[in-house]
Amino acid sequence: MNSDIATVLFNEGTIEKKIRELGHQLSIDYEGKEPVVIGILNGAVVFMTDIIRNIRTSLTIDFLSLSSYGSGTKSSGIVKIRKDIDTNLENRHVIVIEDIVDTGLSLKYLLEYLNKHKPASLKTCILLDKPKAHKVDIHIDYKGFEIGNEFVVGYGLDFDEKYRNLPYIGILKKEIYS
Ligand code: IMP
Ligand code: MG
């Protein structure tokens, strides 16, 4: 696996420090609000389990799975819900945890969907953002890192469902996917 990585962008220590900072901010902002933290499967799983252990207020968790129709390293923008949430979101404070925003189409779809459940508030916590790739206007409330348009894997992010278990985030060698 390691030999498929061209460059390590964020190592374990850098990620851990960023998650402590985000968790600290979320702990302050959600004190006493008992938020529902929704992780988007599968990419956000690693980030989700780390971030919730850094939020020092009572909360509940749930998961949602989207399928984006498209192959390889480009997202098609056509999104469907594969696994729905089980929590009633009405009047709850909702925090969406996502691994990465690329075009922003998945997140936009997701936010419109979750808003229909009438939450008291709806905020986004995103590990990685590719601002130059956005095709729609997306508001990110809590952000880990901004990156360029390179394709990255590790720490939950995959190529063809692999590399999710790498403890760091790195740029995948072009020859692996081209
Ligand atoms: P968007 O709808 O274009 O914003 O795509 C978001 C989804 O595309 C993410 O949830 C990822 O599954 C996938 N994705 C986009 N860029 C990358 C990347 O660099 N590495 C791994 N997955 C990515
Ligand atoms: Mg994904």
- pLDDT, position 79: 78
Q: Which of 73, 75, 103, 132 best tests ligand 1's pocket when mutated (most atoms within 8 Å of CB)?
A: 75
User: Known catalytic residue: 102?
Assistant: yes
Catalytic choice (102, 129, 141, 158): 102
Written as six digits, the tokens of 21 are: 């900072």
32 CA distance to ligand 2 middle (Å)? 31
In Å, how far are 14, 63, 150 from 73, measured between CA atoms? Answer: 25, 23, 10
10 Å CB burial of residue 28 (0-12, 13-18, 19+) is: exposed
Q: Helix H segments across the chain?
A: 12-29, 45-52, 105-115, 174-177
- pLDDT, position 67: 81
Looking up residue 39, the CATH number of its domain turns out to be: 3.40.50.2020
- pLDDT, position 87: 98
Q: What is the dihedral of CA 74, 133, 105, 60, to 10 degrees?
A: 100
Written as six digits, the tokens of 76 are: 């098609």
pLDDT string in tens for the chain (178-residue length):
899 999 999 999 999 999 999 999 999 999 999 999 999 999 999 999 999 999 999 999 999 999 876 556 666 666 789 999 999 999 999 999 999 999 999 999 999 999 999 999 999 999 999 999 999 999 999 999 999 999 999 999 999 999 999 999 999 999 998 8
Amino acid in the structure at residue 47: F
- pLDDT, position 76: 66
Q: What is d(CA 103, CA 73) in angstroms, rounded to the nearest whole number? A: 12
100 CA distance to ligand 2 middle (Å)? 7
Question: DSSP letters of 92-113?
Answer: -EEEEEEEEESSSHHHHHHHHH
- pLDDT, position 77: 66
Domain assignment of residue 77, given as a range: 2-177
Number of domains in the chain: 1
Residue 83: how many other CB atoms lie within 10 Å = 11
Q: Which residue has the tokens 């984006």?
A: 68
42 CA distance to ligand 2 middle (Å)? 6
pTM to 2 decimal places: 0.95
- pLDDT, position 72: 63
Amino acid in the structure at residue 140: I
> How do beta strands 93-101 and 142-146 pair?
unpaired
- pLDDT, position 46: 98
Calculate ∠ Cα 60-124-39, nearest 5°: 45
DSSP letter assigned to residue 143: E
Written as six digits, the tokens of 66 are: 């989207």
